[in-house]
Amino acid sequence: MPATPPNSGPDDEVDAADRRTRRRDAQRDQLVRRRRLTAAGVIAGLALVFAVAVAKSGDGGEGAEQASAQERRSQLPGGGRSVFPEHRVVAFYGAPQDDELGVLGIGDPRKVADKLDAQAKPYGTRQRPVLPAMELIATIAANAPGSDGMYRTRQHSTIIRQYLMAARHANAILLLDIQPGRADFLSETKALKRWLKEPDVGLALDPEWRMAEGEIPGQTIGSVRAEEVNAVSAWLSGLVRENDLPEKVLAVHRFTEEMVEQQEALESHPGIALTLNVDGFGTREAKLSKYRDLVPKRFNAGFKLFYKEDEGLMEPDAVLKIRPQPDLVIYE
C-alpha cells in the first residue's frame, strides 16, 4: 500500500479521487467529441445525397399534411396548447448522416418513431402523459470551415420535412437542434423560421458547439451568454404570438456550469418553455451529481441519457425517482 503523504487526510484522498474521475470523464468526453466531429466532417457531402434520395422516393403525404395544417395550427399533438407541466417530453436525438450522431438517425424515421414510442411509454402517467419528440440536429458543427467559414452545415430542407412528417405520424413534436460552429444562435434560428412557424416544431441550442472567433469545434468546449439565449427566446416568443401557436420547447444543453454564462440573467418569455437540459454522460453517480449541480431552479429541467456512453443506462423508473423530476428526457 503506498505511503500516505505527510499532512494528508481523508479529504485529500477524496480530492485526489475526484480529480482522477474528472480526468477520466474529460478523456472520455474528448474521445466522443472527436468521433462525432469525424462523422460531421462527411456531412456536407452526405446531406445532399440523402436529400436527393428522399426527394426521389417522395415523402408520402405532403399534400395531406398541408391540407390539415390549419386545423393543427393552434394545438399540440394530442391537443392542448401548453407543453409543461401538462406533459413530460421524451425525445430521441440525432441526425441521419451517421450513427455516431445519435439514435434518431438510425434507420427509417417512421420505424425509429415506433422505438421512440416504446422507450417513452414508461414515463407516462394519467396525471402527466408523455409527449414524444424527435430532436433532429438541423445545424451540425463541423471541423472544417465550409464555404462561409462558419464551421457548420445546415440540414437540407428535404431531411427536415421527412422528420417532421414522421413526427406527425407518431403524434410527436420535432425539436430542431442547433450546433452553430462560429455562427450565432439567433442567426441559425432565423434560418429555420419556415419550420418554427409550425405548431409542432420547437428548438434546442447546443452551446458546446458555439465557437468564438478562432475556435474550432471539437478542439474547444463552447459556451453561450445568457443575453444570446434571451434574444432567441424573445424572437421565438414573437413568432408564437404572431402566428397564434401553442407553447414551444426551447431546450438549452449543457454539461458544465460555464457553458451557459450568467445563467441568473436568463429570462422567461410568453409561449416559450425554456428548459435547461443536463447533458453529461458516465456513471449513474456522476450523472446524478451533475444533475444536482446544474438543474435549473427557475426553469424546466432536462436529463439526457446515452445508449453507448453511459455506464449502466438508467431505467425509466430510476429516472423518475430523480428530484426534481425531469420535465424533458432525451436519449442519444
Please report the pLDDT score of residue 68 as a whole number: 52
Distances (CA, A) of 68 to 45, 63, 72, 73, 75: 34, 9, 7, 9, 12
CATH architecture of 12-331: Alpha-Beta Barrel (3.20)
**Average pLDDT of each block of 10 consecutive residues along the chain (332 residues)?**
43 47 48 50 46 45 48 80 96 90 90 94 93 97 92 95 96 97 97 97 97 91 96 98 97 94 94 94 90 90 94 94 96 96
Could you give the C-alpha distances from 260 to 22, 27, 75, 186, 253, in angstroms and in order? Answer: 20, 22, 31, 15, 9
> What pLDDT sits at residue 101?
87
Q: What is the grid cell recorded at 234?
A: 424573445
CA distance 24 to 29: 9
Sheet strands (E) in 230-315: 248-254, 260-261, 272-278, 300-305
Note the pLDDT of residue 281.
83
Cα–Cα distance between 246 and 36 in angstroms, integer?
A: 34
DSSP secondary-structure letter at 245?
P
How high is the pLDDT of residue 100? Answer: 83
Q: Would you list the domain boundaries of the chain?
A: 12-331
pLDDT of residue 99: 80
pTM across the whole model: 0.83
Integer Cα distance of 35 and 292 in angstroms: 28
Q: What does the alpha-carbon distance between residue 314 and residue 286 come to, in Å, rounded to a whole number? A: 12
pLDDT score, position 5: 40
* Residue 248, SS3 per DSSP: strand
Q: Which three cell numbers stand for residue 78?
A: 394530442
**Rounded CA gap, 205 and 164, in Å?**
18
- Predicted confidence at residue 282, as pLDDT, reads 87
Q: In this structure, are residues 112 and 97 in contact, taking their beta carbons and an 8 Å threshold? A: no
pLDDT at position 212 is 92
Plot region of 75 (φ>0 → left; ψ -120 to 50 → alpha; else → beta)? beta
